[in-house]
Structure 1
């Protein structure tokens, strides 16, 4: 099967473009599936492909070893973008192995929509839309709550937007980013207090604008960028509402 596997490697990018047109080389062959899945253990420490595994993890260095799926946690596992359960011929193909965090690896699992061809975004071959579609809404009552959602842009086609939705829903990113945002606000509350005391609401808004620009360098739809855009545009937060972040600041 060596020739067939090499040919399948050459078809990999075509499979990504429209997975509906392809079936696995091992389709209906349990024996071949077992053999191909067994190749993955060759990447283990002390095995022949250990250096390949190490070099794949090195690709995460440019992102400070942050998971490309959630952009938050540290990478610690290799995700098979096309799951080895469905495409065992790609079990050791470097292009199909993405360094990710434990959480995203677990939630993505064997996700592979072959009926509609709706795949998540590939860290090596896809660019996440550079139009503002991730938004954060700030609600200030007895405390401060944050809710993330997606807003469809006319500049993004429906199929791409559905892929974005799939990624956020599969990985539970709305709730995950909400928790991260609460932690971010709590960590920064002293900065908000000092800035407001010294420069008032305009000074705090200016600081939040600067934080927005810094976060947007990581991507227009990075969760911090959406958070700070919402905060800088919230008049109540900038005029002292931030004090509701921590009960001890009240009064």
Structure 2
């Protein structure tokens, strides 16, 4: 089967473009599936493909070893983008192995929509849309609350937007980003307070605009960019509503 597997490697990008047209080389052969899945152990420490595993993890260095799926947690595992359960011929193909965090690896699991061809975004072959579609909504009441959602852009086709929705739903990114945003606000509340005391609401808005620009260097749809855009546009937050984040004095 060596020739067939090499040919399958050559077809990999075509499979990504339209997975509906392809079935696994090992389809119907339990023996071949078992052999191909067994190859993954060759990537372990001290095994023949250890250096391949190390080189794949080094690709994450350009993103400071942050998970490309959630853009927050540290990478610690290799995800099979096309799950080895469905496509065992890609078990040790470097292009199919993505360094990710434990959480995203667990939640993605064997996700592989072969009926609709709706795949998540591939860290090596896809680019997340460069239009503002990840939105954070800020509410200032008894506290400051954040809610993330997706807003469709007319410049993004239906299929691409469905892939975005799939990624967010599969990985639970709305709730995950909400928790991260709460922690971010809590960590920065002293900065907001000092800025507001010195320069008022216009100064705080300028600071939040600067934080937005910094976060957008990671991508316009980075969770932190969406957060700071929303904060800078929220008049109530900038005019002192941020104080709802301050700890309540005791006694």
Q: Which string of whole-angstrom CA distances, capped at 9 and with x for unpartnered residues, describes residues 3-49 of structure 1?
A: 00000000000000000000000001111100000000000000000
Tell me if structure 2 keeps the 8 A contact 1:77–1:100.
yes
Q: Provide, for residues 198-218 of structure 1, a one-character-per-residue CA deviation record: whole Å limited to 9, x for no partner.
A: 000000000000000000000
- C-alpha separation in 2, matches of 1:5 and 1:158: 34
**Distance in 2, Cα, partners of 1:246 & 1:196:** 13
Q: Secondary structure at the match of 1:153?
A: coil
CA distance in 1, matches of 2:131, 2:191: 29
1:1-251 counterparts in 2 under 5 A? 1-248=1-248
TM-score by length of 1: 0.99
d(CA) in 2 for partners of 1:182, 1:171: 19
5+ residue gaps in structure 1?
A: none
Deviations 1:144-180 (A, max 9, x none): 1100000000000000000000000000000000000
Over 3 Å counting, the alpha-carbon distance change for 1:6 and 1:169 in structure 2 is: same
CA distance in 2, matches of 1:141, 1:108: 35
Q: 1:226 to 1:249 in 2, by over 3 A?
A: farther
Q: Which runs of 4+ in 1 moved over 6 A?
A: none
Alpha-carbon offset, residue 247 of structure 1: 3.3
Q: State the superposition RMSD in angstroms.
A: 1.1
Which consecutive unaligned segments of at least 5 residues does structure 2 have?
none
How far the C-alpha of 1:248 sits from its partner, in A, is: 2.2
In 1, Cα distance between equivalents of 2:141 and 2:24? 54
Structure 1: distance between partners of 2:44 and 2:6: 22
Q: Structure 1, residues 55-91: CA drift from partner, whole Å, max 9, x if none?
A: 0000000000000000000000000000000000000
1:245 Cα offset (Å): 1.0
Q: TM-score, normalised by structure 2?
A: 0.99
Deviation at 1:93, TM superposition (A): 0.1
Q: Secondary structure at the match of 1:78?
A: strand
